[in-house]
Amino acid sequence: QVQLVQSGAEVKKPGASVKVSCKASGYTFTGYYMHWVRQAPGQGLEWMGWINPNSGGTNYAQKFQGRVTMTRDTSISTAYMELSRLRSDDTAVYYCARNYDILTGPDYYYYMDVWGKGTTVTVSS
């Protein structure tokens, strides 16, 4: 079955960087874009960006440009999200989610069909 397994929780100091991994299984990794979404404590979901695992091309939310880098290693079907210059308000659960899009008749559907369980990143001095 399609599965996304994320790396374990991290504790970082302000100013440091964190790199979260997301290992895909059960499907062709290079066939589907991968999103990264975060959720601060008690807050809603926030889209950070996505990567095309086939080409390595990325598109980041403006808020994170300059601080986030999304990469992938196709040999091990794993996507990575690195966030630098961490601040306390980067404390959140970080999710990877597979993008799915399909043309059905005249309609195009886009959605995130499978999610990882999340990686908790705590930024504290």
List contacts with other proteins (CB under 8 A). 35, 37, 44-47, 50, 59, 61-63, 95, 97, 104, 107-113, 115-118
Beta strand ranges found along the chain (DSSP E): 3-6, 10-12, 18-25, 34-39, 45-51, 58-60, 68-73, 78-83, 92-104, 107-115, 119-123
Count of positions (residues) in the chain = 125
Q: At closest approach, how far in Å is the CB of 15 from other proteins?
A: 26
67 vs 118 by CB, closer to other proteins: 118
Question: Are the CB atoms for 91 and 41 separated by under 8 Å?
Answer: yes
Q: Which is nearer to other proteins, 78 or 116 (CB)?
A: 116
User: How far apart are CB 74 and other proteins at their closest, in Å?
Assistant: 22
Nearer to other proteins, 107 or 125 (CB): 107
